[in-house]
């Protein structure tokens, strides 16, 4: 679906630096949409987060753009990989083995299987669940949090 | 009954803390479905919030403390250091950070695993950061001068 301003489900919006020309009154839905705009979420993601219809979000976003509150991100969108590569698993494995020992790779494989996935085609949107499950196997809280800290940095590198 | 919280609460002077503290907290901005976070005393006083909403923030801050206490009462163990409360309209995560609580507000469909881990990592970092704990102590003192609660 596209609106007059070409706002599609993949359009990324940001808060306009110019601002509105005058006094603005917002509907509750417009306010909710506005609170979700962070310069990286698509309108589709905003709709999912708010649990409302994507078309409704696009329409509201269009109005907010017209009011001067939002701007359409002009940056070209690069295709997003939907799976993670082997390098990511190597990093997890290396850090996990450092904490739990040589049983680490087996535990990771178990958790991948528990998520009904395979290492070769592991979806990116399940990475955080996998890391949380794997790290839950580390009984020492300090070591667990440190492992999470390292892997969270690796996850951020995926984006 | 306390008055509704003002829309912007800044008792906690984060500018007096190090870059690493602000970096830890900024990480929540990147998580899908995280609406915002706040730092409170856990007994009804909000010290800092990024939320741009009309929630009764003090009530939400109370929730963490009540859940932590009721859990401890039921199990006869030490009060909890972390809470997760699921509502039909979202989830609130909370972790104790010294004299305060870090609370994360998530929409339905949020990446909760990421939010939980980021919360744990941030809570550990904030709990051990001297500049943050000094700022937190001052903020607690400014809103609750008579408190001795640790």
DSSP state of A140: S
B107 and A CB contact within 8 Å: yes
Q: Please indicate whether, in this complex, the C-beta atoms of A148 and B120 are within 8 angstroms of each other.
A: yes
Q: Please indicate whether, in this complex, the C-beta atoms of B53 and A152 are within 8 angstroms of each other.
A: no
Q: Please indicate whether, in this complex, the C-beta atoms of B121 and A148 are within 8 angstroms of each other.
A: yes
Q: Are strands B90-97 and B100-106 parallel, antiparallel or unpaired?
A: antiparallel
> The tokens of A5 are what?
């301003």
Q: CA-CA distance, A107 to A130, in Å (whole number)? A: 11
| Cα–Cα distance list, B24 to A139, B100, B129, B132 (Å) | 23, 16, 11, 12
A148 and B CB contact within 8 Å: yes
Determine the distance in angstroms separating the CA of A155 from the nearest CA of chain B, rounded to an integer.
10
**A144: three-class secondary structure by DSSP:** helix
Q: Which residues contact B148 (CB under 8 A, 6 or more apart)?
A: none
Q: CA-CA distance, A70 to A53, in Å (whole number)? A: 19
Q: Please indicate whether, in this complex, the C-beta atoms of A145 and B124 are within 8 angstroms of each other.
A: yes
pTM attached to this predicted model: 0.68
ipTM value of the model?
0.77
**Count of beta carbons in the 10 Å neighbourhood of residue B20:** 13
B118 and A CB contact within 8 Å: yes
B82 dihedral zone (left: phi>0; alpha: psi -120 to 50; beta): beta
Contacts of A135 in chain B (CB under 8 A): 117
Positive or negative torsion for Cα A42, A44, A48, A51: positive
In tens digits, what is the pLDDT along chain B, a chain of 150 residues?
344 444 456 778 887 787 888 888 999 988 999 988 989 887 777 888 887 654 556 666 666 666 566 554 455 556 678 888 888 778 989 999 988 899 999 988 899 999 999 999 999 999 999 989 988 988 888 887 665 544
Residue A9 CA, distance from chain mean position: 15
Q: CA-CA distance, B83 to B5, in Å (whole number)? A: 22
A137 and B CB contact within 8 Å: no
Residue position matching structure tokens 């899908």: B32
Question: Mind listing the pLDDT tens digit for each residue in A121-134?
Answer: 899 889 999 999 99
Q: Please indicate whether, in this complex, the C-beta atoms of A132 and B116 are within 8 angstroms of each other.
A: yes
């Amino acid at each position: 679906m596209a609106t007059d301003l070409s706002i599609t489900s993949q359009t990324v919006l940001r808060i306009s630096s110019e601002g509105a020309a005058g006094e603005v009154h917002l509907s509750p839905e417009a306010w909710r949409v506005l609170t979700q705009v962070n310069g990286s979420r698509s309108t589709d993601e905003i709709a999912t987060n708010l649990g409302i219809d994507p078309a409704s979000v696009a329409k509201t976003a269009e109005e907010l753009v017209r009011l001067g509150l939002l701007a359409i991100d002009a940056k070209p969108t690069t295709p997003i990989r939907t799976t993670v590569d082997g390098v990511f698993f190597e990093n997890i494995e290396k850090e996990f083995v450092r904490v739990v020992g040589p049983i680490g790779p087996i535990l990771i494989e178990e958790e991948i299987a528990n998520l009904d996935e395979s290492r070769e085609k592991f979806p990116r949107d399940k990475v955080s669940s996998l890391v949380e499950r794997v790290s839950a196997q580390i009984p020492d809280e300090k070591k667990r949090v440190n492992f999470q800290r390292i892997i969270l940095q690796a996850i951020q590198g995926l984006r | 009954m306390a008055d509704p919280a003002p829309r912007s609460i800044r008792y906690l002077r984060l500018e007096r803390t190090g870059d690493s503290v602000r970096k830890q907290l900024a990480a929540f901005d990147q998580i899908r479905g995280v609406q915002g976070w706040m730092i409170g005393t856990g007994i009804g006083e909000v010290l800092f919030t990024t939320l741009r909403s009309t929630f009764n923030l003090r009530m939400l801050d109370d929730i963490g403390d009540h859940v932590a206490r009721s859990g401890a009462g039921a199990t006869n163990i030490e009060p909890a250091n972390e809470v997760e409360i699921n509502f039909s309209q979202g989830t609130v995560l909370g972790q104790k950070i010294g004299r305060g609580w870090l609370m994360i507000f998530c929409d339905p469909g949020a990446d909760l695993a990421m939010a939980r881990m980021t919360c744990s990592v941030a809570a550990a970092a904030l709990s051990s950061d001297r500049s943050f704990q000094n700022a937190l102590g001052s903020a607690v003192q400014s809103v609750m001068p008579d408190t001795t609660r640790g």
